[in-house]
Structure 1
């Protein structure tokens, strides 16, 4: 019996080994290995593709002696059948276009496919996934697919996980998400972040009870977020941030779910955060930045003891205490800036031992900074700016924060104790010089002197001390230890008078941003550091010339030296600085010609040379600056004709040539025009003549569209600037002097809604063209002090946004069009010193204008003038525009009556009377011509 048992056991072992041997022989099927090899050959390996390439798994693929594809990298087979069931080629350095007939669809036994983190060159996701009916896991994220998501993916009813997220260059789009997910009821993970949905979320998602992760970030979602999704029984991760048109609110009660991560920042959620949020005991991450949330922050947040990330910034939340924060001992990132928090800072900060980021800026917090704050050894970023904090800080406390990198204390009323840090106090000195602090913001802190500790920081990159009351010279010790690291310095709006020992060479070799504007600097122009990108030293008392050495700064993009006492000629070598985009030399004493320094590939967007002593002509080379948006040459001595070649500059928004010696006609020279973007045209106080430039005005297309913008914004130029250390944007606002509402006004900022034309104080003649009525967004129109004749065109009533209209000091005749009474925004109206007649319109804005608006027009009558109209002020005026016109109309009415009567008694009588009327009209025309000529010669 024992022998028989041994025999059966040996037989079983033999059969098992035979089975395994047989299985090994059929592990890989030829059709699948062939499909995989064809797939490999359709791509190249690109190991340089930024951050995505980890290891090219397909390198191990080869049809060697065995051709066993189941042993290839990223390939997994079923042990029983040898069929390929999983393919993971994530981060495999694949680069190329995915074929519409990809051989992957021949792997019909696939259960898992992962092609994430490759580069498929924005090719569409191929149609044919319905062949992979067993597929459960699909990951095509971060692989540069584009186009519409194939609908046949929705037929894969076995799918458990779908990740199509973060194909950002040309995002995927899904026209109907409801149809797509309808059959995928077993999903546990669905990530469509950065897929363009542009639709409301389907309510069917609330039935996906197995769902553990839902990713919908940056999808263009609109409509209301189904509140029931928050209460899915297995949902752990929900991302839906950066959908600004997605509205929603939180469950008001009975909110209890296994949520661990919830990110809804930059959406349009509103209402209150319910107290029941304290029931989410598993929550570790909560991001609600930039919503419309309001009401009290529930103290039940103290129950969320697993929280490591809490973002509530930029809402309308209030709380009179932050004591609940100190219970959240696992917090690493706390951001509650831009809310309505009140009260003092918690005294028990030391409980938050793991805290790395603390942002409480822009709230109504007040009082002193508690000493316990300096015990947060892991703190890297501390933002306490724009609060109501006060008191004196000891720099030694700052150095206790060994990990601190960014400190924002701006817009508080604080000062720093004078603490001597030297080599004799070795520990203190060591703490100071080894500090990791690289970003220090102390602007608007009422500082009267430079804090001493700045000179000991050896890693400082950004230094912001603007809008303080710091007096005297700029000491060289403030960058003693950070000379090589400093990249950004802002000392603007202080009371600084110069540099220590008059040494204007700063020797800051890596500095890219320097702003010392709006001080009391009385010195020559400091030599800009060699890598400077933004150089602003405007609004000071600099004198002498601009040294030509400035042209050696090949990285310079923004140069603002306006409002100084600089003189001499503008260096022509400025044109050799390739990156230069914004140039402001206004309000100095520069003389001579405007140099022809603009290269063929000019990238300039702003040129402001107003209020200098420049003469000569406008260099035609300016026409090379195709990106130019703002050109201000006002208040100089330029003697030239109109630079009609400016019409080639399609982005030009502002042209100011006022108060120069420009001359000659404009209309005759302009043929092909392209002033499509023009907002402001100021040619006032020159010697232009001829007709008003109708062709120019006809092509001002931006003036024809009314801007419906609600929020106040200012015209400016944004320039994104990068350096070896940082990347930031610079904004320079438009500035100019305009005649607004009868008064010369200096604008440091100009609203984006200001559309203005000023052609005053020239020698234009002829009629006001009717087409001006097409410029419907005009706010200011000044045609005064010219030789314009004829009637005021009724089409001006189409300028419904008009606030100021000045037609004074011309030779206009006829009546004031009654239609102008409909201009309800009109604040200033001046038609004085013309030859107008008839009644002044009544009602609306016209009842607010004083007599000076209508002075020196002998034929005008009615309020507010003393002379009354013969037919009464309240009598509706005749439809014509002058007394002479009324006479003509009467005659024409008589002419028609006689002609009709002539049909009964004879055609000849009518003809004779008609000739008499024509003769009278001829005599009136000659009389009027003489009268108008006398007016022109005044």
Structure 2
């Protein structure tokens, strides 16, 4: 009897050890873990343990590379798909009666090459293809993603321009097409995207200038058109974007004068108008931009007096220079930003060196035009931070409105 009891105990130990081994075996294999989690969601017709021979699964070296779930009865979207993100190349989930937003896990599938969610009623609201090197013309299908709120195609290699069909994407909150080789005029239809908070079109090859209709983008917080071959004068509509916090127009062929209306853009924290052909006097109203931290106006054709900037108490970086005229410096510390330092403030060329000033560096030497191609950079971190910041502002607005 004692012997039988001992054998029963040994059998139990063997079973426990086998189960533990099985569990550890699964945990060591991401594909096995995914199949276990997926089967919990499948109402019927579950995937067998030998998943690589299942017609819905394709493997490469025992790791899942393709998942094909057509007309399946599944309780929710399998967010556990993230478990196989390093090996998954293709994902198809069609006619599964799923609803709601596509979960964030989709955007973490870094090796994914093909995605088909036809007939699932899922809504695509965020699409980030940054650095994917897409080429050719922008496909019409992209403009049909009318539920998108965030679109990032930074660094693509498109040819041709933006289609007027972009007006259909009127739910966009953030749009980044920087460094995408776009050409042709900026279509007027772009200005119909009135929900935009973030717009980055830097480093493209557009033709012509900005339309006064840009005033319709009155919710913008961030606008970057640097190095995009923009010409013509700054339209009055731009000065009406009073919610803007970041405005970058450097490295274009923008001419004409800077309007006193710039003083209305009171929320600006960063303003860069460098390397253009702006002329005339610098308006005194720029001294009203009390939230400015960065002011870059180098290498334009300004003339006349440097305005009183003493109200810019949080300004930490300033560069003003003219390639055509000598600027008049007042040599009075009281007219300069009070907390700026000489190593972060430069004005040139000036009629006198103002050696007594403690806040700014002056030069009487002529300013030559720079070769600005090497001065451009792709502010990926800044873009990410701004996208997150915009998203936070938007969610806060929705909470308040709700």
Q: Same fold (TM over 0.5)?
A: yes
The alignment status of 1:853 with 2:322, answered yes or no, reads no
Highest Rg: 1 or 2?
1
> Which residue of structure 1 aligns with residue 389 of structure 2?
none
Give the secondary structure class of the aligned counterpart of 1:760: coil
Alpha-carbon distance between aligned partners in 1 of 2:157 and 2:82, rounded to the nearest angstrom:
23
> Which runs of no fewer than 5 residues in structure 1 stay unpaired?
1-420, 430-450, 456-469, 487-497, 558-579, 704-754, 870-930
Among 533, 542, 554, the residue aligned to 2:120: 554
CA change 1:515–1:788 in 2 (3 A) is farther
* Cα pair 1:648 1:673 within 8 Å, conserved: no
Q: What's the CA shift for 1:423?
A: 11
Among 23, 28, 33, the residue aligned to 1:452: 23
> Which residue of structure 2 aligns with residue 213 of structure 1?
none
| Structure with higher helix content | 2
* Cα pair 1:603 1:625 within 8 Å, conserved: yes
CA change 1:506–1:847 in 2 (3 A) is same
CA change 1:604–1:479 in 2 (3 A) is closer
The alignment status of 1:603 with 2:169, answered yes or no, reads no
Give the secondary structure class of the aligned counterpart of 1:829: strand
The alignment status of 1:805 with 2:295, answered yes or no, reads yes
The alignment status of 1:504 with 2:61, answered yes or no, reads no
> Which residue of structure 2 aligns with residue 105 of structure 1?
none
CA change 1:621–1:663 in 2 (3 A) is same
* Cα pair 2:299 2:369 within 8 Å, conserved: no
Alpha-carbon distance between aligned partners in 1 of 2:265 and 2:303, rounded to the nearest angstrom:
23
Q: What's the CA shift for 1:605?
A: 2.0
The alignment status of 1:534 with 2:103, answered yes or no, reads yes
* Cα pair 1:837 1:859 within 8 Å, conserved: yes
Among 680, 688, 699, the residue aligned to 2:230: 688
Give the secondary structure class of the aligned counterpart of 1:637: coil
Kindly report which structure 2 residues correspond to 1:195-594, keeping only aligned pairs within 5 A, or say none: 452=23, 473-475=30-32, 476-479=34-37, 481-484=39-42, 500-505=62-67, 507=69, 509-512=74-77, 514=79, 521=86, 524-528=89-93, 531=96, 533-534=102-103, 536-538=105-107, 541-542=110-111, 546-547=113-114, 550=116, 552=118, 554-557=120-123, 580-594=124-138
* Cα pair 1:598 1:624 within 8 Å, conserved: no
Alpha-carbon distance between aligned partners in 2 of 1:624 and 1:528, rounded to the nearest angstrom:
26
Among 796, 806, 824, the residue aligned to 2:313: 824
Give the secondary structure class of the aligned counterpart of 2:171: coil
> Which residue of structure 1 aligns with residue 399 of structure 2?
none
Alpha-carbon distance between aligned partners in 1 of 2:362 and 2:196, rounded to the nearest angstrom:
48
* Cα pair 1:811 1:935 within 8 Å, conserved: no
* Cα pair 1:628 1:651 within 8 Å, conserved: yes
CA change 1:812–1:657 in 2 (3 A) is same
> Which residue of structure 2 aligns with residue 61 of structure 1?
none
Alpha-carbon distance between aligned partners in 2 of 1:662 and 1:606, rounded to the nearest angstrom:
22
* Cα pair 2:170 2:195 within 8 Å, conserved: yes
- Give the number of the structure with larger relative contact order, counting CA–CA contacts within 8 Å between residues 6 or more apart: 2
CA change 1:677–1:423 in 2 (3 A) is farther
Q: What's the CA shift for 1:848?
A: 2.9
Give the secondary structure class of the aligned counterpart of 1:821: coil
CA change 1:695–1:550 in 2 (3 A) is same
Alpha-carbon distance between aligned partners in 2 of 1:517 and 1:658, rounded to the nearest angstrom:
33
Alpha-carbon distance between aligned partners in 2 of 1:665 and 1:516, rounded to the nearest angstrom:
46
Give the TM-score of the pair, scaled to structure 2. Answer: 0.68
> Which residue of structure 2 aligns with residue 771 of structure 1?
261
Among 233, 243, 246, the residue aligned to 1:702: 243
Q: What's the CA shift for 1:771?
A: 0.8
Give the secondary structure class of the aligned counterpart of 1:597: helix
Alpha-carbon distance between aligned partners in 1 of 2:242 and 2:105, rounded to the nearest angstrom:
34
* Cα pair 1:518 1:539 within 8 Å, conserved: no
CA change 1:867–1:823 in 2 (3 A) is closer
* Cα pair 2:64 2:87 within 8 Å, conserved: no
Alpha-carbon distance between aligned partners in 2 of 1:481 and 1:601, rounded to the nearest angstrom:
31
Alpha-carbon distance between aligned partners in 2 of 1:597 and 1:585, rounded to the nearest angstrom:
15
Q: What's the CA shift for 1:526?
A: 3.6
CA change 1:516–1:550 in 2 (3 A) is same
Alpha-carbon distance between aligned partners in 2 of 1:600 and 1:655, rounded to the nearest angstrom:
19
Alpha-carbon distance between aligned partners in 2 of 1:613 and 1:793, rounded to the nearest angstrom:
39
CA change 1:518–1:781 in 2 (3 A) is farther
The alignment status of 1:836 with 2:327, answered yes or no, reads yes
Q: What's the CA shift for 1:537?
A: 4.2
Q: What's the CA shift for 1:811?
A: 1.4
> Which residue of structure 2 aligns with residue 199 of structure 1?
none
Alpha-carbon distance between aligned partners in 2 of 1:868 and 1:481, rounded to the nearest angstrom:
73
